[in-house]
Amino acid sequence: MVATLALRKDRHPFDRAAARGATLDVRDVSHHFEFKGQPLPVLQRISLHVRAGEFVALLGPSGCGKSTLLRLVAGLEPPRFGRLLVDGEVVEGPDPSRVVVFQDPTLYPWRTVWSNVALGLEARGLLRSHRERVGAALELVGLAGFENAHPHQLSGGMAQRAALARALVNDPRLLILDEPLGKLDSLTRIAMQGELVALWQRAGFSALMVTHDVEEALFLATRVIVLSERPAHIKAEVVNDRPYPRRRGDPHLAELRREVFAHLGLDATW
Amino acid sequence: MSDTIVDRVEKAPLPTIRPWFGASSRLWIGGLAASAAWTAVALLTRLWPDTPESDWAQTGGLAIAFGAFAVLLPVATVAGLWSPMLRKLQRSAPWLIVLAFFFAAWEAATAKLGLLPMPFFPPPQAISEVVVDDWARLAESVVASVRLLAGGYVLGAAIGFVAGVAIGWSRAIGYWIHPVLRFIGPLPATAWLPLAFFVFPSSLSASTFLIALATGFPVAVLTWSGVAGVNSAYYDVARTLGASQSFLVLKVAIPAAMPHVFVGLFMGLGNSFAVLVVAEMLGVKSGLGWYLQWAQGWAAYANMYAALLIMALACSGLITLLFRLRDRLLSWQKGLVRW
């Protein structure tokens, strides 16, 4: 894991490295929870592949198990059946090369913005040698000057930016995004969608994002995977090869949106 | 557009109020009123003769002290023009005036009119006499109490904290400690007193144990509930960032639990005061509790009031200290309870 942080001094720490993104293989994964003594199936035979540097969005009705799939990919829980492989190696636990950005910023309220962002480096004992990355990450998300603020002093958008910086400072090869913009107001959300694309293009990580915003999925992702109701299985896959930077008014995106809505069974109101 | 008279008047710069006058007029009034009230108390103490059967040696001295305080107030008021710290004292002016009335009433009801039965209700000069004459023994008692309290409290808080973290963190440790805590914790620490005094080699070690017990229980329970109540997403975040178990305990669970820990420390401090006084009254031959008991035995009620007064100041001071510490450590928290 330390190797991923080996930086060349002549390059900005967040510039795209050749094929730095990780590949993800989800192989026939099923998962269930115990609920009142009964197994409650959440994921049903999910298989998907994320290529290095790809941006994949998982779209599905709420409560369908999307977030559970992300927890499995992150290594926070082991799958009941099937296997998950990152770069060909079985996921056996959390690893800082696969960082999650949650729907809530979950910044530690007792730490300043700077120390929140420094969390991952500190946890791995890399803070002393890679100190400058913290400031660089804050600058990247537009939070320079807020180093000493405490989380309760930040707006929702700023807090989520800090959470993003906390992930990026670890130079992840796979960024796992669990509805990271879900709780923001629509204007902040649109602004941050643009920033997210720019970050992804610049840093070259692979991204796996859960969302239930169709526009968001189509604006960001190279591929949209539509999941069914719980237990979730893959219903459809929509490839979006529009070039970046994308335009929200792009008629091709409107076409794709209709297609995605049809897969979700929501095209009647179209 | 032409300027009308009205326009011109409205556009004219507002006369600036001289800040020193505006900011300090209330200070002047409050400070001078308080000074006048304390002058009145001084004169009442000095000029109104004590009841004939009394022999208070310090009536004159107390009057001088009241008078000096009355002089000090306008001095502080003037100094308040330069010192923002003294200016903050202006909030206490109403309290100082009420206190003056209280002292006047106390003085009149005891030393001057003899309305309250002696020797149970001594006048202020009797108490000040004790403080002046017996200060060495009082100071010795304060030192003894603080030493005993500090030893027991620090020990109890440390053990309670570690136990609370352990129960909150480890299911295996919780399995063994939790029932013990539930069974023994609610028992008032003072109930152990007779046992402790013959089990322990000295009354000092017995009292330290009791104070530690009284402190440890609330600290352990609240630390435990703090650690158990930590948002599990905080752990998820740290784990995905590569945190080890010890990092999760030391850098996530404990800081997140600190607001609860301080509630426990506060409750434990209150408990420890109660146990300290009882232990000193019943076994330890020193300290303010012992002084109280001793004064009561000799019917030296003025000494008792003096000791109570000092005890109140000391306890309040310690609680203030704890709150200050909390305010420093938990400055990130919104809406702290003020003390």
User: Does a cis peptide bond (omega within 30 degrees of 0) precede residue B119?
Assistant: yes
Structure token pair of residue A198: 């720019």
Phi then psi dihedrals of residue A261, to 5 deg: -60, -40
Give the burial class of B277: count Cβ atoms within 10 A of its Cβ; 0-12 exposed, 13-18 middle, 19 or more buried: buried
Kindly report the nearest CA distance between residue B281 and chain A, in angstroms. 43
What are the residues whose beta carbons fall under 8 Å from the beta carbon of A10, sequence distance 6 or more?
A: none
CA atoms within 13 A on the CB side of B132: 12
Q: Look over chain A and give the mean of its residue pLDDT values, rounded to a whole number.
A: 86
What is the rounded CA–CA span in Å between residue B77 and residue B34?
11
What is the rounded CA–CA span in Å between residue B223 and residue B226?
5
Identity of residue B327? D
Residue with tokens 């209330």, as numbered in its chain = B26
Chain B interface includes A99 (CB < 8 A): yes
Q: How many angstroms separate the most distant Cα atoms in chain B? A: 98
Cα B167 to chain center, whole Å? Answer: 31
Residue A20 pLDDT exceeds 90: no
Chain B interface includes A67 (CB < 8 A): no
The CA distances from residue B119 to B54, B81, B91, B295, B304, in Å, are 11, 45, 36, 12, 11
Kindly report the nearest CA distance between residue B249 and chain A, in angstroms. 12
Contact residues on chain B for A166, CB-CB shorter than 8 A: 237, 241
Structure token pair of residue B75: 């001095």
Instruction: Give the pLDDT of residue A236.
Output: 87
Contact B332 A152 (CB under 8 A): yes
What is the rounded CA–CA span in Å between residue A31 and residue A67?
12
Question: For the segment A236-264, what is each residue's pLDDT rounded down to a tens digit?
Answer: 898 988 888 888 888 888 889 988 888 88
Instruction: Give the pLDDT of residue B63.
Output: 92
Contact residues on chain B for A100, CB-CB shorter than 8 A: 236-237, 240
Contact B255 A123 (CB under 8 A): no
Contact B251 A152 (CB under 8 A): no
Nearest CA in chain A to B259: A110
| Fold adopted by B135-329 | MetI-like fold (1.10.3720)
Question: What 8-state DSSP symbol labels residue B91?
Answer: G
Chain B interface includes A100 (CB < 8 A): yes
Interface of A with B in 114-143 (CB under 8 A): 119-120, 122-124
Contact residues on chain B for A1, CB-CB shorter than 8 A: 242
Q: DSSP labels for B231-280?
A: -HHHHHHHHHTT--HHHIIIIIIHHHHHHHHHHHHHHHHHHHHHHHHHHH
Strand partners, A35: A38
Nearest CA in chain A to B243: A123
Residue A9 pLDDT exceeds 80: no
What are the residues whose beta carbons fall under 8 Å from the beta carbon of B88, sequence distance 6 or more?
A: none
Q: Residue ranges of the domains in chain B?
A: 17-121, 135-329
Q: How many CB atoms lie within 10 A of CB A83?
A: 12
Contact A74 B332 (CB under 8 A): no
Identity of residue A134? V
Structure token pair of residue A27: 């192989």
Beta strands in chain A (DSSP E): 24-35, 38-50, 55-59, 81-86, 89-90, 98-101, 174-178, 206-211, 223-227, 234-239
What is the rounded CA–CA span in Å between residue A177 and residue A197?
13
Instruction: Give the pLDDT of residue A17.
Output: 47
What is the rounded CA–CA span in Å between residue B195 and residue B10?
83
What are the residues whose beta carbons fall under 8 Å from the beta carbon of B95, sequence distance 6 or more?
A: none
Angle between the B171-184 and B135-169 helix axes, to the nearest 10 degrees? 140
What is the rounded CA–CA span in Å between residue B299 and residue A133?
73
Contact B256 A108 (CB under 8 A): yes
Contact B242 A76 (CB under 8 A): no
**The dihedral sign for the CA sequence B25, B26, B29, B32:** negative
Instruction: Give the pLDDT of residue A202.
Output: 86
Contact A108 B231 (CB under 8 A): no
Chain B interface includes A108 (CB < 8 A): yes
Contact A123 B231 (CB under 8 A): no
Contact residues on chain B for A164, CB-CB shorter than 8 A: none
Phi then psi dihedrals of residue A2, to 5 deg: -70, -30
Residue A2 pLDDT exceeds 50: no
What are the residues whose beta carbons fall under 8 Å from the beta carbon of A227, sequence distance 6 or more?
A: A58, A59, A60, A61, A64, A65, A66, A233, A234, A235
Give the burial class of A4: count Cβ atoms within 10 A of its Cβ; 0-12 exposed, 13-18 middle, 19 or more buried: middle
Contact A106 B251 (CB under 8 A): no
pLDDT by residue, tens only, chain B of 339 residues: 444 444 444 555 555 544 444 555 666 788 888 999 999 999 999 999 888 877 888 888 999 999 999 999 888 888 877 777 777 777 788 899 999 999 999 999 998 888 988 888 999 999 999 989 999 999 999 999 999 999 999 999 999 999 999 999 988 999 999 999 889 888 999 899 889 989 999 989 999 999 999 999 999 999 999 999 999 999 999 999 989 999 999 999 999 999 999 999 999 999 999 999 999 998 888 899 999 999 989 989 999 999 999 999 999 999 999 999 998 888 887 655 556
What are the residues whose beta carbons fall under 8 Å from the beta carbon of A247, sequence distance 6 or more?
A: A253
The CA distances from residue A192 to A30, A156, A198, A199, in Å, are 33, 12, 10, 10
End-to-end CA gap in chain B: 59
Q: In what order do the strands lie in the sheet with A223-227?
A: A98-101, A174-178, A206-211, A55-59, A223-227, A234-239
Angle between the B93-107 and B124-133 helix axes, to the nearest 10 degrees? 100
Structure token pair of residue B151: 């030893």
Q: How many CB atoms lie within 10 A of CB B179?
A: 10
Helix/strand/coil for B169:
helix
**Measured at the alpha carbon of residue A177, what is the angle toward residues A173 and A181, in degrees to the nearest 5?**
140
Contact B332 A99 (CB under 8 A): no
> Lowest mean pLDDT: which of A10-24, A52-66, A220-234, B46-60?
A10-24
Average pLDDT over residues A157-185: 90
Pairing of strands A206-211, A55-59: parallel
Nearest CA in chain A to B258: A110
